[in-house]
Structure 1
């Protein structure tokens, strides 16, 4: 993948300063922050990498080329082109002409021109120190767009904070060896935006993969550096893993794992909310709590909570599957006092629904029911007093069949009807479970 440095060149007659980039030796007595960044980041780049400097007509004349500033006379200054040439870089340096951005049309032209510089999978190093007017905001929009459209990864965002040393006049009065200018690392703000998107994706769709990816990317280096002993980092990493496992359990209808996954997720979420390493992440993590409040660690109620989660996140096939299988477990728990793990017991529940629905005499029972008359009789006795549930279980089977066959059957249901009835059947089954176990089964 290419490494790409991208910056915007302004028009000011910049002062020689000593730029301090965290993790690198200071770059002394240079006028352009771009020179400092390139010297530290791009020195070992190859010919396939790129260094782009976006320039307007005015900045090209004043700061890209030599001797572009005037007082009464021409002020002798090396332009940025000459300064970068003196670094003897292997990576090509390319000035990129952009308009001044004085109209919406010009701003769109800048967007299109800058985005066109990026290729699939680029590793981007961005300097916004001299991005004028709307360019800093535009640059962040381009970053977000490029991440999606070109799978660009952002490795650095720098801002040379001359104003941290005072006004331009204040800095002019300083001896050159005292003009120490910090280069702020703004990458955490870009990562925070990624976290916002990831948390929103989880709460909107139930997909926790992006949170796990961010946790691994952002926290992995810290854990390696501390040999796994950094408590906050471990909490965030464990949360990412728990979220991914929870969403995978629901997406793949792992009914026996949902309670365990939700319990682990709530526990790791509680620990991660208190972390101090990424403070802006705390409010985002608090946003997850209401979305998971319905999960209590009880298999039946967690199954119902998972079905409602599926309804809220448009996972209809999973929702119907989890709802019906949860109710089969509920029936086995109460009618047979068993855990619902035996496949035979589960099949007998389905056969009893058919027996009661169609009023089948014993001679028309399937072989499994006839061979297990005692167990079948207990289920029949329990369900005979709950014929509304029998009807609902029968209808759930029909809808699941419709979904599993992709509507390739006579009289397929419309999508909005499938959505509607999932909500209806969840409410019916919640009521049924409340009658069986009491109100604490649903309300905790």
Structure 2
């Protein structure tokens, strides 16, 4: 862990003694002329070690008037001299273990001197320092410079701001001779949020801004929501960055993010944070429970935020996925359980990739195209494939350009970005409307499907095989499995089950719900019975248990997902 470092600029004024108190009046300093002494007392610098440091920055005049211990008197505004112990001696008499140093800085009266001030401060910092900043005195630009300096140091030296304070002597209680010691940590949080918001606005990254939100949590409930937000935002960022098509098609990360943001907005945070919540949520509006629309929203996200390589990969693979879904009843590999998906994808890719001149010349058809010649003709003559093929070919060529780093027949980055925008739109316009019934049909038989995962294993940690098997149940939304305490009364247990039943029934009003439920057995049995009575399907994961010996008579159980099985009615 890095050093603890106290930073403060010393002023030139003739300071009167007073005590400084925090907002809750839980701390009261010794009477002192110097806010630095009071703040260091509040921070517990007496417990710091010899590896920690205190840097007091002084101009020539500040050193003479308020630092140099060789002088013991001072004139008060032209009056006679009186005893006046300078800060250097005050701190020396504390016998702190931490190193204390007065650091000379110029007055900063021009740009050149301001840079010298910045350099003098920055050069005192080391990698990983934890900064405790006091902002009361010095020229008015200096507190701003220190804030900018610390933000710069957080990038260059991985420093962190642990405390930011201001001694408000102007608000002194004359009768008690007490002045407020103000905590300005909210400024650092706002500065961090501003940078996180800029990163989100420019690059579409939500993880950084979510990290900054954690600092504003004032209770356990808020902290839990912010932890959820950070986890969901990071998962969303990673899904986009690594082109996790199934996760993006499922939409669970985006849906969970929207739900958490709604809960946070309902708590009534300050305007800056509330506006950021709203901004994040508006950017997620394209995602929902429609798998095709989720893929489209993910591709549009990549285009908007300059994730060109991910955009090409997601667009090309999404088009193939959606076409396979649309034509699944024509799948010639349906009897090959282990390869029916991969083989059909390869076949559909060949359909989309065949050149225009070869479409009419069947002698050029090879592989699956020739093996299933009648189906090939049927697919090539379908309206949707005709509409999509023209824009799909450039997607494929440009994706290869990127994957081969532009060493073969290179194109400019601008051309690649522009082509993605145009061709992706054309392909998605052709294919996505085929799946509009997922969200537009009102009849009970055509409601969209939704899988509720009520277990201790969130969808994000499911193995690929389990996710593929879950597609038939629709997008997946995680539900927290409750803690069923052994000492829970029957009344409490009944209420818990009823609460979960109501949550699930709300989903069932709009979706064809399947509940994946696994956990504490009495809870599962009671809830499953009630849900099945309402016509809601409940399923469990079936897995093979393999025992792996790890030596020293230890064994490890490895579970490999096999299938989903419905609970018996």
TM-score (norm 1): 0.87
Describe the superposition over 1:381-407 as per-residue Cα deviations: whole angstroms up to 9, x where unpaired.
Answer: 536x64342232222111111111111
Q: CA deviation at 1:91?
A: 0.7
- In structure 1, the partner of 2:206 is 208
Determine if contact 2:388/2:431 at 8 Å carries over to the other structure: no
- Report which of the two has the higher share of helix: 1
After the TM superposition, which of the residue ranges 117-126 and 17-26 deviates more from structure 2?
17-26
Paired positions, count = 423
Which of 47, 51, 59 is equivalent to 1:48? 51
Provide the secondary structure at the position in 1 that maps to 2:8: strand
Which of 411, 417, 428 is equivalent to 2:426? 428
Determine if contact 2:243/2:310 at 8 Å carries over to the other structure: yes
- In structure 1, the partner of 2:105 is 98
Which of 415, 418, 441 is equivalent to 1:417? 415
- In structure 1, the partner of 2:27 is 25
Measure the CA separation in 2 of the matches of 1:398 and 1:112. Answer: 51
CA distance 1:47–1:22, shift in 2 (3 Å): farther
Which of 38, 41, 47 is equivalent to 1:39? 41
- In structure 2, the partner of 1:359 is 359
Describe the superposition over 1:346-385 as per-residue Cα deviations: whole angstroms up to 9, x where unpaired.
Answer: 11111222446422766754444556667656644536x6
Q: Which blocks of at least 5 consecutive residues in structure 2 are unaligned?
A: 335-339, 441-569
State the structure with bigger RCO (CA 8 A, min sep 6), 1 or 2.
Answer: 1
- In structure 2, the partner of 1:266 is 258
Give yes or no for the alignment of 1:150 onto 2:157.
Answer: yes
Q: CA deviation at 1:67?
A: 2.6
Which of 81, 105, 121 is equivalent to 1:74? 81
- In structure 2, the partner of 1:306 is 298
Provide the secondary structure at the position in 1 that maps to 2:162: strand
Provide the secondary structure at the position in 2 that maps to 1:262: helix
Provide the secondary structure at the position in 2 that maps to 1:30: coil
- In structure 1, the partner of 2:526 is none
Which of 178, 196, 206 is equivalent to 2:194? 196
Two-structure CA RMSD over aligned residues (Å): 2.8
CA distance 1:415–1:37, shift in 2 (3 Å): same
Measure the CA separation in 2 of the matches of 1:68 and 1:157. Answer: 31
Measure the CA separation in 2 of the matches of 1:92 and 1:434. Answer: 66
Q: CA deviation at 1:9?
A: 1.0
Q: CA deviation at 1:210?
A: 1.2
Determine if contact 1:348/1:376 at 8 Å carries over to the other structure: no
Provide the secondary structure at the position in 2 that maps to 1:280: helix
- Report which of the two has the higher share of strand: 2
Determine if contact 1:232/1:277 at 8 Å carries over to the other structure: no
Q: CA deviation at 1:121?
A: 1.3
Q: Which blocks of at least 5 consecutive residues in structure 1 are unaligned?
A: none
Matches within 5 A, 1:22-421: 25-41=27-43, 42-65=45-68, 66-71=71-76, 72-165=79-172, 171=174, 174=175, 178-216=176-214, 219=217, 230-258=220-248, 259-276=251-268, 280-336=272-328, 342-355=341-354, 357=356, 358-359=358-359, 365-369=365-369, 379-382=379-382, 386-409=385-408, 411-421=409-419
Q: CA deviation at 1:103?
A: 2.8
TM-score (norm 2): 0.69
